[in-house]
């Protein structure tokens, strides 16, 4: 396909010009009505877009990009696709992914491309395909995966190769647009240099902690104070959002696939089965026939092989000579069974003799205390040791990586067919279509994010940091069964997820009776935080005054009955063990002059369970020379510039979306 582009460049140019003129005509002359069937679902820039157009411009491209992102073996490919989707479909301040926002911002992107004369060349699209989107983990172009995707996956997504190329071309365009919009933005080299220098330091400091828990017990707000607090913060106390869904969470049937592959690779009836060692191994040799009597009589020390003796008999003689040596050897000097077999046994002896008994596993040893000795433990006979239960092999273990990925891909195709059948039936008969397709259908009771079924707590492949349950709370029931139907999402290692919202209960404001205990706890904690911060400020002031009078930090802290911890030579790459916010503490210490105190910092981190106030005394702070300092500086400068351009691009999309005067007539 890529070669055809090069071959027919002139023809493609004419086609693209005609398509461009047609697109401009449609975009500029459409007026307020939509082109396509069905009612208008999105209105932007004074033009309506029907459900059919919404699917073509937004839903189908989103499904394609999410599908590509979920299959990425190359991290750069996943990041490029995710960044494009987030820029177009997610507000700058966060919020749920919105396909309608994607439609509007995709039109804004195409309009800006025309305005600024930005386009993606054929070579740029090919490079993106080969080095990023369809590259493997080593960055090499995976031509086989690309070919299979074009032939098998694009058709079931309702997309052509040209559709995919156009869409991937927009990944190039949005990158160029970011350069145009952020062209006047430059990161401060001095600020970047100072930041890099801060992280190249080695610091010795002492830290004083004031945990909130120390002050909570003293807080006992009255009922009247709690009610007043609740009145002032009513909006904070909401019930949990809840969802009830019907869903399919499907994973490949690896056992059935392994059985099918085994049948396909089995030899035809009448042919010998290959040896267990592999298809290329010869079958085991037949057992040798017993040697004739004369051969046994002639097997003395001086007897050599007769001229008619077979090769197997020649190998038997050394084995017979080795046997007396083995009997004479003391038990403690006997060679391991494997060495004896290698040196003396013939192939015939190996087949007829039983395998050696396994050696007993080594028992754990105990380290004796200094100055003491520990008598050796008596080894337990192997027969008396409890047998270690063997882990049953998984059906997936019998498959290659390519076979497993193929099974996941084929299941995705089946799931997409299921989605299409349900959607074309206006979202009705979810259960019947799923069962007809061989899928297990599950239904839930109303659940919150915390009480959701366990299989909904697996990660979404196309949304880093989010779980399957999050997808169910990003969708509401809508006004029709089709509105309640989700897109197909890749979950965990090998699962596909499709659901329908059966009931959506949004948060509501709690009454005082419902919120009383939570309001009491919140008020007590707020007062404890205030008491904590006040105590930390007072202690720091006292220590600073004592140090100004000539006392050391240690003496001044002990005078205030403060407990402190000292850490020597801390670096970014060698954080303090056991410190829950080691990076934040390092960043504070990195900006304090040696011999000085930091300001009081209040640290609240719910994830790590940290609620405290701290201040530091920095004893020593020095720059560590690094041969990579200059390269780190340049890399940080480029990263800071990229961040500024990305922020400018997000802000530009937000402004364009607001200017489009977006409306949703059918909602």
Residue 386's pLDDT is what? 58
Token duo for residue 371: 């100055």
403: confidence class by pLDDT, cuts 50, 70, 90: confident
Residue 270's pLDDT is what? 55
Residue 515's pLDDT is what? 95
Residue 38's pLDDT is what? 59
Report percent pLDDT > 90 for the chain: 44
383: confidence class by pLDDT, cuts 50, 70, 90: low
| Average pLDDT score over the chain | 78
What's the whole-number mean pLDDT along residues 212-224? 94
Residue 232's pLDDT is what? 95
User: 71 near 136, Cβ under 8 Å?
Assistant: no
Is 85's pLDDT higher than 80? yes
Residue 328's pLDDT is what? 42
User: 379 near 359, Cβ under 8 Å?
Assistant: no
DSSP character for 457? G
69: confidence class by pLDDT, cuts 50, 70, 90: confident
Three-state SS at 507:
coil
User: 144 near 151, Cβ under 8 Å?
Assistant: no
Residue 389's pLDDT is what? 61
Residue 26's pLDDT is what? 34
Q: What is the pTM of this model?
A: 0.51
What's the whole-number mean pLDDT along residues 576-595? 90
| Domain locations along the chain | 2-185+650-659, 201-222+511-625, 242-258+400-505
What's the whole-number mean pLDDT along residues 558-574? 91
Tally of residues, the chain: 667
Residue 96's pLDDT is what? 79
Task: Give dist(CA 244, CA 1) in Å, integer.
Answer: 46
Q: How far is CA 151 from CA 156, 181, 252, 504, in A?
A: 10, 38, 21, 39
Is 359's pLDDT higher than 70? no
Q: How many other β-carbons are positioned within 10 Å of the β-carbon of residue 598? A: 20
Residue 184's pLDDT is what? 76
378: confidence class by pLDDT, cuts 50, 70, 90: very low
**Higher pLDDT among residues 483 and 199, named by residue:** 483
Residue 451's pLDDT is what? 96
Look at residues 538, 581, 529 and name the one whose alpha carbon lies nearest to residue 213.
529
Is 450's pLDDT higher than 90? yes
Is 384's pLDDT higher than 60? no
Token duo for residue 586: 């390092």
266: confidence class by pLDDT, cuts 50, 70, 90: low
| Residue range 464-512, pLDDT digits in tens | 789 999 999 998 888 889 999 998 999 998 999 999 999 999 999 999 9
| Residue range 503-524, pLDDT digits in tens | 999 999 999 999 999 999 999 9
Residue 188's pLDDT is what? 81
Least confident span in 80-84, 177-181, 284-288, 364-368: 364-368
Residue 456, CA atoms < 13 Å, CB-side half-sphere:
23
What's the whole-number mean pLDDT along residues 258-267? 72
Cα first-last separation, the chain: 42
Residue 381's pLDDT is what? 54
What's the whole-number mean pLDDT along residues 323-341? 44
Is 540's pLDDT higher than 50? yes
Number of H-type helices and E-type strands within the chain: 26, 11
Least confident span in 286-290, 631-635, 650-654: 286-290
Residue 377's pLDDT is what? 44
76: confidence class by pLDDT, cuts 50, 70, 90: confident
Is 15's pLDDT higher than 70? no
User: 505 near 495, Cβ under 8 Å?
Assistant: no
Most confident of 70-79, 379-388, 502-511, 607-616: 502-511
Residue 267's pLDDT is what? 58
**Higher pLDDT among residues 503 and 285, named by residue:** 503
Cα–Cα–Cα angle for 113, 118, 120, nearest 5°?
A: 110
Is 374's pLDDT higher than 70? no
**Higher pLDDT among residues 628 and 427, named by residue:** 427
401: confidence class by pLDDT, cuts 50, 70, 90: confident
Token duo for residue 416: 């997409």
585: confidence class by pLDDT, cuts 50, 70, 90: very high
Look at residues 641, 595, 646 and name the one whose alpha carbon lies nearest to residue 616.
595
Least confident span in 152-161, 216-225, 284-293: 284-293
What's the whole-number mean pLDDT along residues 426-432? 94
For 637, the enclosing helix (H) or strand (E) is helix 629-659
Look at residues 20, 170, 159 and name the one whose alpha carbon lies nearest to residue 105.
170
Is 17's pLDDT higher than 60? no
74: confidence class by pLDDT, cuts 50, 70, 90: low
Least confident span in 284-288, 305-309, 391-395, 624-628: 305-309
| Residue range 33-64, pLDDT digits in tens | 344 445 788 999 999 999 889 889 998 899 88
What's the whole-number mean pLDDT along residues 188-197? 78
Q: How far is CA 18 from CA 11, 13, 24, 161, in A?
A: 11, 9, 10, 19
Report percent pLDDT > 70 for the chain: 74
User: 540 near 597, Cβ under 8 Å?
Assistant: yes
Instruction: Give alpha helix (H) positions in 60-160.
Output: 60-70, 75-89, 99-116, 122-128, 143-148, 154-156
Least confident span in 246-260, 282-296, 458-472: 282-296
**Higher pLDDT among residues 198 and 544, named by residue:** 544
């Amino acid at each position: 396909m890529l070669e055809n582009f090069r071959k027919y460049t002139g023809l493609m140019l004419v086609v693209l010009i005609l398509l461009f003129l047609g697109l401009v005509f449609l975009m500029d002359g459409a007026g307020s009505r939509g082109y396509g069937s069905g009612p208008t679902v999105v209105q932007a820039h004074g033009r309506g877009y029907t459900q059919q157009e919404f699917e073509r411009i937004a839903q189908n491209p989103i499904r394609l990009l999410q599908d590509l992102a979920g299959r990425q073996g190359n991290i750069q490919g996943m990041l490029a696709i995710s960044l494009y989707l987030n820029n177009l479909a997610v507000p700058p301040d966060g919020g749920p992914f919105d396909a309608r926002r994607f439609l509007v911002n995709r039109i804004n992107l195409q309009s800006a491309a025309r305005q600024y004369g930005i386009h993606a060349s054929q070579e740029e699209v090919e490079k993106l395909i080969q080095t990023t989107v369809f590259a493997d983990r080593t960055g090499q172009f995976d031509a086989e995966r690309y070919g299979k995707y074009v032939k098998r996956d694009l058709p079931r997504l309702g997309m052509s190769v040209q559709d995919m190329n156009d869409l991937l071309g927009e990944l190039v365009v949005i990158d160029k647009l970011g350069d145009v919009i952020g062209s006047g933005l430059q990161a401060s080299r001095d600020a970047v240099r100072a930041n890099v220098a801060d992280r190249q330091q080695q610091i010795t400091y002492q830290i004083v902690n004031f945990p909130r828990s120390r002050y909570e017990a003293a807080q006992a707000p009255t009922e009247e104070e709690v009610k007043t607090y609740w009145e002032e913060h009513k909006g904070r106390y909401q019930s949990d959002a809840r969802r009830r869904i019907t869903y399919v969470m499907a994973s490949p049937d690896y056992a059935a696939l392994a059985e099918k592959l085994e049948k396909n690779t089995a030899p035809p009836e009448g042919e010998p089965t290959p040896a267990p060692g592999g298809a290329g191994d010869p079958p085991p040799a037949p057992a040798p026939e017993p040697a004739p009597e004369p051969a046994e009589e002639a097997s003395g020390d001086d007897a050599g092989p007769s001229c008619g003796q077979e090769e197997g008999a020649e190998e038997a003689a050394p084995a017979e000579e080795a046997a007396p040596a083995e009997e004479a050897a003391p038990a403690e000097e006997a060679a391991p069974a494997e060495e004896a077999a290698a040196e003396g046994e013939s192939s015939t002896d190996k087949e007829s003799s039983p395998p050696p008994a396994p050696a007993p596993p080594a028992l754990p040893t105990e380290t004796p205390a200094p100055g003491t000795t520990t008598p050796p433990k008596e080894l337990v006979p192997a027969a008396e040791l409890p047998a270690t239960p063997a882990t049953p092999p998984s059906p997936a273990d019998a498959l290659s990586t390519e076979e497993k990925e193929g099974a996941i891909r084929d299941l995705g195709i089946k799931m997409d067919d299921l989605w299409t059948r349900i959607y074309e039936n206006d979202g009705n008969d979810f259960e019947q279509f799923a069962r007809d397709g061989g899928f297990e259908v599950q239904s839930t009771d109303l659940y919150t994010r915390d009480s959701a079924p366990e299989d909904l707590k697996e990660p979404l492949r196309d949304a880093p940091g989010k779980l399957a349950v999050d997808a169910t709370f990003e969708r509401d029931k809508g006004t029709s069964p089709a509105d309640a139907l989700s897109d197909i999402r890749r979950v965990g290692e090998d699962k596909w997820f499709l659901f329908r919202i059966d009931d959506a209960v949004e948060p509501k404001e709690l009454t005082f009776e419902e919120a009383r205990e939570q309001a009491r706890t919140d008020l007590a904690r707020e007062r404890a935080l205030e008491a904590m911060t006040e105590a930390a400020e007072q202690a720091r002031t006292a220590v600073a005054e004592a140090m100004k009078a000539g006392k050391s930090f240690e003496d001044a802290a002990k005078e205030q009955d403060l407990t402190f911890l000292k850490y020597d030579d801390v670096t970014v790459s060698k954080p303090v063990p056991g410190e829950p916010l080691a990076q934040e503490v390092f960043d504070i210490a990195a900006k304090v002059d040696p011999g000085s105190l930091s300001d009081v910092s209040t640290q609240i981190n719910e994830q790590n369970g940290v609620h405290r106030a701290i201040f530091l005394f920095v004893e020593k702070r020095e720059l560590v020379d690094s041969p990579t300092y200059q390269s780190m500086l340049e890399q940080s400068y480029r990263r800071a510039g990229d961040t500024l351009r990305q922020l400018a691009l997000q802000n530009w999309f937000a402004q364009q979306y607001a200017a489009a005067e977006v409306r949703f007539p059918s909602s």
